[in-house]
């Protein structure tokens, strides 16, 4: 099964990139007319690759390539077909198109495996239309929250109505769930959306974990005062305290591999040039591939903040507003990805994913793994997103090798 994958993969990426609500930029959101057109196109490629296709109750497009006999459990490959606004054309789509190309190679070779292969083009991962993410994969994983059906988009259309208009029946959403016994594993190929592979000079890498995230809102209360009259020694400057907090968070997170911490919001009150800042609200985003590591960082950061508050005589009150656990890739699957990468002549590298992916939802129903593909400058969620034809080729070869050499987990 020799390659020559990249030409077709890149042509198909262009074909999908042309399906946009905006002629100037790629924007394709959940349950839109463009979603329907993208599904139809993907369905035609799946059929051509020898797959039986179906569209489920949330608008996912699914293709199934039977194994040596019908009805065997499946190795599930997937990624998403929706985009952010002004998107790049590889985020999500590369994984779907490459998976179909691999199945097409099996089909051309008339090769059946001891398991089925399913390819899913998820309907929603980015969450642009309804502000809730991974709706497609949550439906497949059986964790879709039906309360979301009442959510409205920017035009006031509920998700239930949008599903109905798309031809889906929102009352049978639970039927989109796959059973754990039908899935041998979930594997996703995706662009890295970060700079690590490029910096290491590698076309692909094996993901260890999709980072978990903690978010805090922090209120800092000092004393506002006249910028001209209050002596420096007696000030309780909330902004100076917050600045010290920002640096302490940066220093704590710098000290540990794979841990990242960001203060991206800082509001100053009253916010006048001649007034000592009395109140600050800032936000902390902490992410790490392992929850234990993230918990340790959280505890340390909270302790650092408390110490700064005591030292400066200001009140610092953090509130946790978000906690998303990490989704660890399964060691037995990572070992098989490493082997596939090495067999294609690439040095295996393991790296965590800083961005969220459908695997975070799929882990509720299957063990997961991911292959990352180098992207130019680590740029993503941006029309400048780019990969090379050579990398698309290697990525497809690695994925095909992973599929053909795939060994299901030995029974318990």
Measured CA to CA in angstroms, residue 314 lies from 185, 233, 236, 239 at distances of: 51, 14, 6, 10
Shortest reach from residue 84's CB to Zn ion, in Å: 9
What's the Rg (C-alpha) of the chain? 24
Residue among 136 and 277 whose Cβ is closer to Zn ion: 136
Residue among 16 and 308 whose Cβ is closer to Zn ion: 16
Task: Specify whether the CB–CB gap between 220 and 316 falls below 8 A.
Answer: yes
Residue among 25 and 180 whose Cβ is closer to Zn ion: 25
Shortest reach from residue 368's CB to Zn ion, in Å: 14
Shortest reach from residue 79's CB to Zn ion, in Å: 7
Residue among 62 and 218 whose Cβ is closer to Zn ion: 62
Shortest reach from residue 367's CB to Zn ion, in Å: 20
Residue among 137 and 293 whose Cβ is closer to Zn ion: 137
Shortest reach from residue 244's CB to Zn ion, in Å: 36
Q: Tell me which H or E stretch contains 390.
A: helix 389-404
Task: Specify whether the CB–CB gap between 388 and 198 falls below 8 A.
Answer: no
Rounded Cα gap, residues 120 and 134, in angstroms: 13
Residue among 92 and 261 whose Cβ is closer to Zn ion: 92
Shortest reach from residue 92's CB to Zn ion, in Å: 4
Give every CB contact of residue 29 below 8 A, 6+ residues apart in sequence. 21, 35, 82, 83, 124, 126, 128, 129
Residues 25-84 that bind Zn ion (CB under 5 A): none
Residues 147-206 that bind Zn ion (CB under 5 A): none
Rounded Cα gap, residues 11 and 127, in angstroms: 26
Shortest reach from residue 192's CB to Zn ion, in Å: 11
Residue among 59 and 92 whose Cβ is closer to Zn ion: 92
Residue among 107 and 381 whose Cβ is closer to Zn ion: 381
Shortest reach from residue 138's CB to Zn ion, in Å: 15
Site size with Zn ion, rule: CB under 5 A: 2
Question: What is the number of other CB atoms lying within 10 angstroms of the CB of residue 152?
Answer: 14
Task: Specify whether the CB–CB gap between 187 and 370 falls below 8 A.
Answer: yes
Shortest reach from residue 125's CB to Zn ion, in Å: 6
Residue among 55 and 133 whose Cβ is closer to Zn ion: 133
Residue among 59 and 73 whose Cβ is closer to Zn ion: 59
- Binding string, residues 91-130; x marks residues near Zn ion by CB under 5 A: xx--------------------------------------
Shortest reach from residue 260's CB to Zn ion, in Å: 18
Give every CB contact of residue 96 below 8 A, 6+ residues apart in sequence. 42, 78, 79, 80, 81, 119, 120, 121
Measured CA to CA in angstroms, residue 136 lies from 115, 175, 182, 234 at distances of: 24, 13, 18, 56
Rounded Cα gap, residues 337 and 398, in angstroms: 8
Measured CA to CA in angstroms, residue 151 lies from 54, 98, 132, 163, 356 at distances of: 26, 33, 9, 12, 22
Residues in a beta bridge with 260: 287
Residues 76-95 that bind Zn ion (CB under 5 A): 91-92
Question: What is the number of other CB atoms lying within 10 angstroms of the CB of residue 302?
Answer: 16
If you write DSSP's letter for every residue of 300-350 in order, what string do you get? HHHHHHHHHHHHHT-EEEEEEEEEE--EEPPHHHHHHHHHHHHHTT----E
Binding residues (CB under 5 A) for Zn ion: these are 91-92
């Amino acid at each position: 099964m020799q390659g020559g994958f990249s030409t077709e993969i890149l042509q198909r990426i262009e074909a999908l990139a042309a399906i946009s609500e905006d002629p100037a930029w790629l924007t394709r959101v959940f349950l839109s007319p463009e979603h329907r057109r993208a599904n139809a196109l993907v369905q035609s490629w799946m059929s051509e690759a020898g797959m039986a296709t179906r569209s489920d109750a949330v608008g996912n497009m699914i293709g199934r390539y039977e194994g040596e006999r019908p009805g065997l459990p499946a190795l599930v490959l997937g990624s998403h077909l929706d985009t952010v606004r002004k998107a790049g054309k590889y985020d999500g789509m590369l994984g779907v198109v490459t998976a179909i190309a691999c199945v097409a190679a099996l089909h051309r070779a008339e090769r059946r495996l001891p398991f089925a292969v399913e390819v899913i083009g998820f309907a929603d991962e980015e969450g642009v239309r309804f502000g809730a993410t991974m709706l497609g994969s949550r439906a497949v994983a059986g964790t879709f929250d039906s309360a979301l059906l009442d959510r409205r988009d920017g035009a006031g259309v509920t998700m239930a109505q949008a599903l109905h208009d798309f031809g889906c029946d929102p009352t049978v959403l639970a039927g989109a769930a796959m059973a754990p016994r039908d899935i041998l594993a979930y594997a996703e190929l995706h662009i890295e959306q970060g700079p690590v592979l490029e910096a290491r000079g590698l076309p692909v890498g094996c993901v260890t974990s999709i980072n978990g995230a903690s978010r805090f809102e922090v209120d800092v209360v000092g004393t506002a005062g006249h910028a001209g009259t209050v002596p420096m020694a007696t000030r309780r400057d909330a902004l100076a305290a917050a600045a010290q907090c920002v640096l302490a968070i940066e220093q704590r997170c710098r000290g540990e591999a794979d841990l990242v911490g960001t203060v991206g919001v800082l509001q100053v009150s009253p916010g006048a040039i001649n007034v000592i800042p009395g109140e600050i609200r800032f936000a902390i985003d902490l992410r790490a591939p392992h929850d234990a590591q993230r918990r340790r960082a959280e505890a340390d950061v909270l302790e650092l903040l408390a110490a700064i508050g005591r030292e400066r005589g200001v009140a610092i009150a953090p509130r946790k507003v978000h906690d998303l656990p990490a989704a660890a890739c399964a060691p037995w699957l990572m070992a098989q990805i490493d082997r596939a990468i090495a067999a294609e002549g690439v040095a295996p590298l393991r790296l965590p994913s800083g961005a969220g992916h459908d695997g975070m939802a799929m882990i509720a129903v299957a063990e997961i793994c991911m292959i990352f593909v180098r992207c130019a400058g680590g740029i993503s969620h941006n029309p400048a997103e780019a990969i090379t034809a050579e990398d698309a080729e290697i990525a497809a070869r690695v994925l095909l090798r992973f599929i053909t050499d795939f060994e299901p987990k030995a029974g318990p």
